Amino acid sequence: MKELTEYHHLLNPQLIFVAFDFETTGLSYNFDRIVEIGAVKFRYNQELERFTQMVNPQMPIPADASAVNGISDDMVKDAPTDETAIPKFLDFIGQAILVAHNASFDVSFLRSAMNRWGLGQLKNDVVDTQKMAQKAFPGRSNYKLQLLAQDLKITSLEAHRAEDDSRVCMELFTACLKQLNPGGQASFF
């Protein structure tokens, strides 16, 4: 796995991307667990498919995490654990280039789950839209996903829910790509 920091080659219409987001029980990939996976597979001019999965973390969801993402213990009690959910997610992403906002957070949770269940190493390249936005829109005081979305007129339907955050991330990726390659044909939709 390598993080991509040059973006001009991403205009290739044959490339397949997966924007993804995890909601978790907390901030530590060593102790906390994934409770929701959201992802959008797309390529140039075309959304291909979506993936969404609640995940039973096999631990109580702390009140502070639930206050942020709105996910309760009741919502995940019958969901599969990450032992089942992560292999399905890995099948979904295949060899696509991964796109995430503050990617190190989500990638660390993914790697931790993969290690826990002996699923090998993550080999996909990754684009961090937070770093991409810093290049595309320098000088901002804040690069949080929801604030960028608001300023760029990207509609956020359910902030801090994985499926909608992954769609917003995809649209932010597109906006950054357009900004960084003004002569390129970077419109995905």
Q: Is the pLDDT of residue 42 over 60?
A: yes
pLDDT of residue 160: 82
Is the CB of residue 113 less than 8 Å from the CB of residue 64?
no
pLDDT tier at 184 (50, 70, 90 boundaries)?
Answer: low
pLDDT tens profile 133-178: 999 999 999 999 999 999 999 998 888 899 999 999 999 999 999 8
pLDDT of residue 45: 67
1 CB neighbour count, 10 Å cutoff: 12
* Longest Cα separation, the chain: 50
User: Taking residues 70-75, what's their average pLDDT?
Assistant: 97
Query: Phi and psi for 90 in degrees, rounded to 5?
Result: -60, -40
Domains within the chain, CATH numbers bracketed = 3-180 (3.30.420.10)
Whether 160 sits among the annotated catalytic residues: the reply is yes
Q: Which stretch of DSSP H or E encloses residue 28?
A: none
> 3-4 and 16-24: which strand pairing?
unpaired
pLDDT of residue 189: 38
pLDDT tens profile 73-128: 999 999 999 999 999 999 999 999 999 999 999 999 999 999 999 999 999 999 99
Distance, in Å, from the CA atom of 35 to the CA atom of 54, rounded to the nearest integer, reads 6
| Burial per residue of 140-151, b for 16 or more beta-carbon CB atoms within 10 angstroms, e otherwise | eeebebeebbee
pLDDT tier at 183 (50, 70, 90 boundaries)?
Answer: low
Which residues on neighbouring strands pair with residue 128, listed in sequence order?
Answer: 100
Which residues on neighbouring strands pair with residue 119, listed in sequence order?
Answer: none
- Look at the block and give the residue holding tokens 């919502």: 75
pTM of the model: 0.93
pLDDT of residue 188: 43
pLDDT of residue 186: 46
Distance, in Å, from the CA atom of 46 to the CA atom of 143, rounded to the nearest integer, reads 26
Sheet of strand 97-100: strand arrangement = 3-4, 126-128, 97-100, 16-24, 34-43, 46-54
pLDDT tier at 187 (50, 70, 90 boundaries)?
Answer: very low
Is the CB of residue 130 less than 8 Å from the CB of residue 120?
no
Whole-Å CA distances, 65 to 13, 101, 109: 38, 18, 15
> 126-128 and 3-4: which strand pairing?
parallel
